[in-house]
Structures are given as C-alpha cells and as structure tokens.
Structure 1
Amino acid sequence: MTCALVVGATSTLGKAIVRRLAFAGFKVAAAGDCPNSVGKVAEDNKKVGGDVTAFSLNVSNPEHRKELIQKVAEKLGGLDTLVIVPPQNEIVGEIVETSDTDFDKLFADMLTVPFRLSQAALPQLAKSENGSIIYITSCMGYTPSIDMGLYSVASNSVLSLTKAVAQSAAKKGVRVNSVVSGMVEGDGSGAVWDQTNGEEARQIKQHLEAMIPLGRLGRPADVASYVEFLASTRSRYITGENGIVGGGVSYRL
C-alpha cells in the first residue's frame, strides 16, 4: 500500500487532501503542530474507513522534521509521497509596508520549511518506486495582488522551488510538482473576500464567479483531486510542473 505524508493536515486544504488520499487507498500520515487537532483529523477519517495516522510536530524545528520522517517510515512501512500544505495566509496589505516579522514568517512557512522538509524526506522517498513531493501554492504567484503583495512573492518562490528541486530529485528517481490553487473557498488565498459574511460575502462571491469561466469558486476537493493524481502512478512521467487548478482563469499562457 502506498504511503503519503501530509504536512499541514489540519488546514482546510490539508483536511481535504488527507480525505482524498485516504479514500484513494493510501496509508496517510497526517501531520500538524497541534496534537488534538491532527488527532481529530485522523479519527474523522478512520470513522469512514480511512487508514490515517496522526503525527504532531513543530515543523520549524529541524530535529522534529527529521524525527517525523523516521517515525512515518517506521510506523507506515515507508514513504512514497510528501505533500506540504502551508498555513493559511493571514498577512495582507501592500508589500512596501511589510514588517520584518511578517516577511520572515511568510517565507519560512512557504519556502524555507517546505524546502527543509523535502531535504529531510528525500532519502526515504528515493527508496520508493514512485517517490514524489507535492507543494501547495497559489495562483497569486503568477498574478500579484496589491493587497497581497508579499503573499504573491512567496507563492511565486514556490513555483521556482518546484522546478529547482525537481532537477536534483530526478537523479534519485523522485518527482516534484506543485498544485497551484486559484480562487478556492476557505484556503486563505482570498485575503479579505473569504473573510466576509452575509450580503457582502454573497455579492463578492457572485462577482468572482462571473470572472471564472467555469462559473464557480474552487473547492478544497478540486485541489485534493489533483494532488491524488500527482501522487499516483498515473503521473509517473510528470515532474517539475506547476499545475493550476483555477477554473479556466488565465494565469499564464
């Protein structure tokens, strides 16, 4: 049975990815910083037949990251896929007004930690017949927003990270791709628009849906389905790609 480790499993997207992989027959290691929260994710999936094991860690701690990979491999019998879901973004505003604290935190969440996790996991992933790393990032990396300038830059860095790590990891037989989410409900990428409610939220949603060719906002399950494809053997000749889940909105040629 294929084993997938989902780091950031307690976020909106993380929960959807864990559920999708579990339904697809993966043994899933759900990792997060809160033991109670990640434990609930595992229990909720077990109730519907999912093979999900909870792991808690401080993802910023190098020793915790190393121990996580070792424990997952020992308890689940190996590691085939690493999925890294960054924390939901809460940093908004123009980039020139960014504080040192916000700058360091966002780049740690979206670039430094995913890269270090990848380094820690590569030796185990290289033992798999279909080893892969999947980063989650945002379409803001292609199209900067004035009120989310720093988030746009950090998201763009993941696009480059994907291609650079893919080049090196390929030598070890490990594929590296990212899933680039468009306007997805509840993932934090919407900044102000997904934090409103009532009539204002309804009007904003209608305006956004009118901009999307498929006529609706994305759902966490849409992102999770793409992750499941990239983790499967059906994508074994795909690496170094940033795959957009955007409902037809043109973020690039």
Structure 2
Amino acid sequence: MSSALVIGATSTLGKAVVRRLAFAGYKVAATGDCPNTIGKIAEDNKKVGGNVTAYSLDTSNAAHRAELISKVAEQFSGLDTLIFVPPQNTVIGDILDSKSEDFDKIFGEKLTIPFRFSQDAMGELKKSRNGSIILLTSCLGLQPSVDLGLYSVASSSVLSLTKALAVSAAKNGVRVNSVVTGMVEGDGSSSVWDNTSGEEATRIKQQLEAMIPLGRLGRPSDVASYVEFLASDKARYITGENCVVNGGVSYRF
C-alpha cells in the first residue's frame, strides 16, 4: 500500500485530494494548521474506510517539518508521495500596489515552503520505488491577471520550481510534477465568482462557462483525479511536467 503526505489538506482542493487518495487505497497523512479542522477531515475519511491520519503543524517551522516527515515515515514504513496544496489566496490587486508583507506572504506560502518541504522529504522519497512530489498551482502562472498580480507571479515560479526540482530529483529516482488548475469551483483563487451570490453569481458563472470549451467550471474532484494519476505507477515515466487541468482553455508560456 502506497503512502502520501498531503500538505494543506484543509482547503477545498486539499480535502478532495485526501478523499481521492484514501478511496484509492493510499495511507494518507493529512496536515493543517488547526488541530480540530484537520482532525475532523481524518475522522470523516475513516468513517468511509479511508486510512487517514491527521497532523497539525506550522509549515514555516523547519523543526516541525522534519519531525512531521520522520513521524509519517515511521508510521507508514516509508513515504512515497509528497503533495503540496497551497492555502487559498488572499492577496488581491494590481502588483504595483502590493505591499512588501503581501510579497513575503504569497511567495512564502506558494514557493518557499513547498521548496523546503521537498528538500526535507527527499531523504525518505528516494527510498521509495516510485517516489514523487506533486505541487499544485494556478493557470494564472501561465496567463497573468491584473487583479491577481502577485498570485500570478508566485504561480509562475512554481512552474519553474517543478522543472528545476525534477532535473535534480531524477538522480534519486524521484519524480516531480505540478497540477496547474484553471477555474475550479470553491478553490478560493478568484475574487470574481467566489465573492458573489444570487443572480450576479449565476450570471458570472454562465459567462465563465461560455469561455471554457468543455462548458463548465472545474470541480475539485477533477484536480484530485489528476493528482492520483501522477502519484501512481501509471505515471512512472512522467516528470518535470506542468499538467494543466482547465477544461480546454488555451494558455501559453
């Protein structure tokens, strides 16, 4: 039975990833910064037969990260996959109007912490016969948005991180890929459809769906399914790829 460590399991996408992997038979370590919230996620999955263990930690603390990886590897007799789901974005506005604390916050959450976790987990991942790292990021890294300037830049940085880590980790037999999400219901990445209600929300959703070739917004389960595939043996020859899940909307990078 394969094992996975999901960082950021309390977000909408994080919950979907945990549920999908648990249903697929993975031993899942789910993390969050609130003990009660992450504990409930683990309990909900256990009720339907999932092997999910909750861990609460401060992801910016190096000692916490090292302790977590050690505990997970000991409990699961190793670690096969590290998955990083970034927290929901709260930095909105033109990049030229951004504050220094906004810059530090968003790059810390989206880039620095995933990178440090990848470094910390490599010692365990390279022991696996199918070790892998999966980073989640946004299509705004491919096509920047004026209203989400810093978020766009940070998302683009994750695309580069994926490729650079993949080249380095390959010598350890570890694969690194990202799942690049388009417009997904409830993921918190947009100030457009997540902060409206009633007729206005319906109108905006219809406009967005008209832009998408497959005719609908993405669902968290669409993203989770791709994560499961990249973690599996079926993707054992795939590394360094930024895998777009966006219903057919065309982006260039």
- The verdict on a shared fold, with TM-score over 0.5 as the criterion, is yes
Structure 2 residue 128 is the aligned partner of structure 1 residue 166: no
- Whole-angstrom CA distance in 1 between matches of 2:102 and 2:199: 31
Structure 2 residue 101 is the aligned partner of structure 1 residue 120: no
Report the 3-state secondary structure (helix = DSSP H, G, I; strand = E; otherwise coil) of the residue aligned with 1:55: strand
Identity of aligned residues (%): 72
Q: How does 1:56-67 map to 2 (within 5 A)?
A: 56-67=56-67
TM-score (norm 2): 0.99
- CA drift at 1:76: 1.5
- CA drift at 1:196: 1.1
Match of 2:197 in 1: 197
- CA drift at 1:194: 1.6
- Whole-angstrom CA distance in 2 between matches of 1:236 and 1:89: 31
Match of 1:242 in 2: 242
How many matched pairs?
253
- Whole-angstrom CA distance in 2 between matches of 1:191 and 1:110: 18
Q: Deviations over 1:199-220 (max 9, x none)?
A: 1111000000000000000000
Report the 3-state secondary structure (helix = DSSP H, G, I; strand = E; otherwise coil) of the residue aligned with 1:52: strand
Runs of 4 or more consecutive aligned structure 1 residues displaced over 6 Å after TM superposition: none
- CA drift at 1:90: 1.1
RMSD over aligned CA atoms reads 0.7
TM-score (norm 1): 0.99
- CA drift at 1:191: 2.1
Match of 2:219 in 1: 219
Structure 2: unaligned runs, 5 residues or longer: none
Report the 3-state secondary structure (helix = DSSP H, G, I; strand = E; otherwise coil) of the residue aligned with 2:243: strand
Q: Deviations over 1:171-208 (max 9, x none)?
A: 00000000000000111122232221111111000000
Q: Deviations over 1:99-154 (max 9, x none)?
A: 01111000000000000000000000000000000000000000001100110000
Structure 2 residue 201 is the aligned partner of structure 1 residue 206: no
Structure 1: unaligned runs, 5 residues or longer: none
Match of 1:48 in 2: 48
- Whole-angstrom CA distance in 2 between matches of 1:172 and 1:136: 22
Report the 3-state secondary structure (helix = DSSP H, G, I; strand = E; otherwise coil) of the residue aligned with 2:248: coil
Match of 2:89 in 1: 89
Match of 1:78 in 2: 78
